[in-house]
Amino acid sequence: MNKLETMNLADNLASNQEKILNKEEDFDAEAVYQAIDSLHVLNKPVKDYFDMTQEQYYETESDHKLTLIKLSENLTDLHDRILTNHVDGFVDKDEINLTYNHENPYEDDFYNSGVDFHVIVYSLKVISAVQAIAFKDLQEVLSKDAVLSIGLAAHALTENA
């Protein structure tokens, strides 16, 4: 997926948010997975992580931004998400800084699809902005846990539909 396709995906999801969350329109998780895989940040396709335990991921690839507490559970049972929420820096000086924060779509043991949808759309918007001007730098600075979080959010939206 090229840089404009990722940006277009984020824009289309944002413009159809209400219809998707109200289940008037289908959520295309496969398009999100394709966007994630096209970043080449994770070591394997994002869907391959859904059967991993939190411990397996923690020991092999995590950059330790996610709060992994129940290590024997699958990653898909994880309630923590890392939202990519801001970019700044200077592309010409190879200084790109991304900031992140934690989101929990299962607060009070109730699934809030809006939180996961926000993680996907907002993260993809920030990522696509960097992707458009500094793709190689993006691969070096983007958190693996943040990229995985987008996939986990898309998976949860599909499973909880």
Sequence-separated contacts (24+) of 48-57 with Cβ below 8 Å: 49/75, 49/148, 49/151, 50/74, 50/75, 50/76, 50/151, 50/155, 54/78, 57/148
pLDDT at 109: 83
Map tokens 């923690």 to a residue: 58
Task: State the Cα–Cα distance between residues 29 and 47, nearest whole angstrom.
Answer: 10
Q: Which of 82, 85, 56 is nearest to 151 (CA)?
A: 82
What backbone phi and psi angles, to 5 degrees, belong to 124?
A: -65, -35
- DSSP single-letter state for residue 54: H
pLDDT at 3: 63
pLDDT at 1: 61
What backbone phi and psi angles, to 5 degrees, belong to 79?
A: -100, -15
Q: Which of 152, 127, 129, 153 is nearest to 141 (CA)?
A: 127
pLDDT per 10-residue tile (average), the chain, 161 residues: 82 96 95 96 97 95 93 94 86 78 92 96 93 80 96 96 67
pLDDT at 129: 87
- State how beta strands 95-103 and 81-90 pair: antiparallel
What pTM, to 2 d.p., does this model score? 0.93
Map tokens 């607060």 to a residue: 107
